[in-house]
Structure 1
């Protein structure tokens, strides 16, 4: 069962999200399920599995993408 969140906490959260959006621009903070994936230009990774996992079909153009993981996990292959 989900925990109840007080009205005060929800109000404080919304104020924080509004400030972050004002500072960093619309779309900087997103909640899961709030909106559909927006179409964007992408560059294919060359791996269909990775492109599907990224959710948009590849690396989004004009964005910083960081790939991380433990040693020998296939980051450079």
Structure 2
């Protein structure tokens, strides 16, 4: 792998091209350049959402259990 040749090919390819430079495009470029970091961050977000959903479901089930116990003992 000749990195200097590949580097020059990239320079030649992008020279003279207008690239979008808005905030959204900059964000997309940074994600592309740091793909493993972006994937890791997204997985952490998903894990956090899953944990929050589990806690919420557990709380609801506890409330249902308590309601059933109270209604069963009242009969």
Q: TM-score, normalised by structure 2?
A: 0.27
Larger radius of gyration between Structure 1 and Structure 2: 2
* Structure richer in helix, relative to its length: 2
Q: TM-score, normalised by structure 1?
A: 0.26
* Structure richer in strand, relative to its length: 1
